[in-house]
Amino acid sequence: MAELPVSTRDLVRWGETLAAVARTGLAFTKNLYEQERYEEILKVAGDVRAAAAAALANDGQPVASSDADDLVSEWMEDVRQGVAGYVTPKVAIGAIVGNNEGQILLVQRADSGAWLYPTGWADVGYSPAEVAVKEVLEETGIDVEPVRLVMVLDGLRLGFTQVPLYSLVFHMRPVGGTLKAHPLECSNVGWFSENSLPSPLANAGVWSEHAFAAIRGDSVEVLFDWPRWPIWRRGETEDASLVEAGSAAAERLGTLARMQANTVLVDRVSKMTEDLAEAVARLMPQLSSTSASPRRTDLEEIVASPSSMLLVARLAPSDKVVGMTTLVVYRIPSGLHAVIEDVVVDESARGHGVGAALVSEAVSLAREWGAVHVNLTSRSSREAANRLYARAGFQRRETNVYRLNLS
C-alpha cells in the first residue's frame, strides 16, 4: 500500500527529533569526530524545520523562525553538558474547570484569539496540580481545587504546537474567586455550555467531549495518545512478518496510527474482511433507513481507492466495530479538498466519544494529505451529530446544497 504524503506536521516532528538527538549527543560526547557528526545532523534538522516553517507561513500560520542558520544557532546555544543537556519535551499544564451548571471555563488567548481551557508552562518548584491551580487563578480569577488528571497529550503529535510538548490536563472544581481575564495573556474569559461554545475553539475535536464528560461526572479514563505504528511515518505499510503472523494484534498494527478517546481505537481499513463487511451492513441502517447496504465488492473498491479512506472504531478491549466514517480526498483546480461522509456510531456505543474519535482522525488524515479544508453535511434533525461537529471546530456555512437523482 502507498504511504501518505509527507505533511508539514511530519517535517516539524522529524526536524525537532533530529535536533534533540544531536543536542543530546553533543551534551554527552567528548569525541571530536562525534561532535562534528552531531553538528552536521543539527544542520540537517535546521533545513527540515525551515522547510516546515515555510510551509506553515504559506498557510498563514504564525512561525517563530524560518531561517535554518538561526535555528541551528539557537539550538547550539542551548546545548548543556551531561544530564542537563539531555533534551526532553517541555511540559504544559491545563485545567478543565466545570461549574454546577455543567459549563466549562474558557479563556481567549491574547496572542492567537483562540479559545481554550486555562493552560501554561510547568514551573519549577510546583507540582503539576499546583501549577494548574495557579494558572486558573492567574488567567481567570477563579480559585479551584483539583479533582483528577484527565488528559496526557502530545502537542507536537496533535499539531497544536511547533515545539516538543507534553500537556497534563486536570479536571478542577471552582471554590471561589471572581471572573477576571489576565490583562496580558487573555483578551476574554467566560463560562460556556456544551451547546454554546465560542469560536474559534482550539483543537476542540481532541478534548471537548472528554472534558464535558468529566464535568458531568461520567466515569472517564485518562485520555492519552495511543502508540503509533510505524512510529516515524504515518502511512500504510506492509510488514511481511506481521502478515505471516496472522494474529489480531498484527492486523491492527499494520494499519494507520491509533487514536484513543477514552477507550476508542480508530483504524483505517487496509483490507476488507467478512467481519468488517458484516459490521458495515449492521451500521448502515442506523445511518439511513433508505440506503441499501453496500456489497462486499463495493467496500473492496472503497478500500482499494487511493482517494477514499474507510475508518472504523472499536471500544477496547473488544474487537467489535462500533462506528465508521469515510474520508474522501480529491483535487480540483481550486486545490486539494476533503469530505467526511457517513459518520455513524452503533446505538450500543454512543456517549463514549466514538464519533469524536472518528471525526478527529479523519481531520488529521485530511491535514496530512494537505487538504485546504474539510467539508461534511448533516441533517438538522441529527442534533447530537451537529453538536459534535461544532465542538470539533466545524463552522456552519450559508450555502445551498443541490441534488439531482439519476435513478
Give the domain extent around 70. 8-85
- Roughly what angle, to the nearest 10 degrees, separates helices 383-391 and 204-216? 120
- Is 57 in contact with 120 (CB distance < 8 Å)? no
- Phi and psi torsions of 399, nearest 5°: -150, 165
The answer on 103 and 204 residing in a single domain is: yes
Residue 317: is the preceding peptide bond cis (ω within 30°)?
yes
Decide which of 70, 85, 100 is a domain's last residue.
85
5 CB burial (10 A radius; 0-12, 13-18, 19+): exposed
- C-beta separation of 171 from 98 below 8 A: yes
- 158-159-163-168 Cα dihedral, nearest 10 degrees: -30
Please count the structural domains in the chain: 3
pLDDT at position 250: 31
Strand partners for 339 = 328, 375
Nearest to 141 by CA among 185, 186, 178: 178
On whether both 123 and 72 belong to a single domain, the answer is: no
DSSP symbol at 70: H
Give me the sheet containing 142-154, strands edge to edge: 119-121, 90-97, 165-177, 142-154, 223-224
Residue 403 lies in a domain: no
Decide: 249 and 279 in contact? Cβ < 8 Å: no
Domain end, chosen from 54, 85, 116, is at 85
Cα(298)–Cα(284) distance, rounded to whole angstroms?
14
Q: Which of 196, 224, 252 is the last residue of a domain?
A: 224
Residue labelled with grid coordinates 544530564:
83
Claim to verify: residue 305 and residue 354 sit in the same structural domain: yes
Residue 4: all three cell numbers together: 501518505
Residue 250 in any domain: the answer is no
Q: If you search the block for the grid coordinates 487514536, which residue do you land on?
A: 259
Task: Give pLDDT, residue 219.
Answer: 80
Residues 295 and 322 in one domain: yes
pLDDT value for 98: 95
What secondary structure does DSSP assign to 265-283, as a single string?
EEEE-SS--HHHHHHHHHH
Full DSSP string of 241-255 = HHHHH--HHHHHHTS
- DSSP 8-class letter at 84: G
For residue 181, is it within any domain?
yes
Residues 375 and 287 placed together within one structural domain of the fold: yes
Is residue 267 located within the same domain as residue 165?
Answer: no
Residues 120 and 53 in one domain: no
**Domain-embedded: residue 253:** no
| DSSP 8-state class, residue 376 | -
Q: Are residues 65 and 29 part of one domain?
A: yes
Rounded distance between C-alpha atoms, residue 190 and residue 140, angstroms: 8
Q: Does 241 reside within a domain? A: no
Question: In whole angstroms, what is the distance from residue 222 CA to residue 210 CA?
Answer: 9
Decide if 179 contacts 140 (C-beta within 8 A). yes
Q: Are 166 and 151 within one domain?
A: yes
278 and 385, same structural domain? yes
Using DSSP, state whether 40 is helix, strand or coil.
helix
Does residue 397 lie within any of the structural domains?
Answer: no
> Both 47 and 151 in a single domain?
no
109 within domain boundaries: yes
Measured distance CA(44)–CA(17) in Å, rounded: 11
The residue among 121, 18, 160 whose CA lies nearest residue 75 is 18
Task: Tell me the pLDDT of the chain (407 aa) as tens digits.
Answer: 345 556 777 788 888 899 999 999 999 998 998 999 999 999 999 998 888 888 766 655 555 666 888 889 989 988 999 888 999 999 999 999 999 999 999 999 988 888 999 999 999 999 999 999 999 999 999 999 999 999 999 888 776 777 889 999 999 999 999 999 999 889 999 999 988 888 888 876 778 888 999 999 888 888 887 776 666 655 433 333 323 333 333 333 333 333 333 468 888 898 899 999 999 999 999 888 787 888 999 999 999 998 899 999 988 777 899 999 999 999 888 888 999 999 999 988 887 788 888 998 898 888 888 888 899 988 888 888 888 888 777 888 888 888 888 87
Kindly state whether residue 399 falls inside one of the protein's structural domains: no
Identify whether residues 211 and 323 lie together within a single domain: no
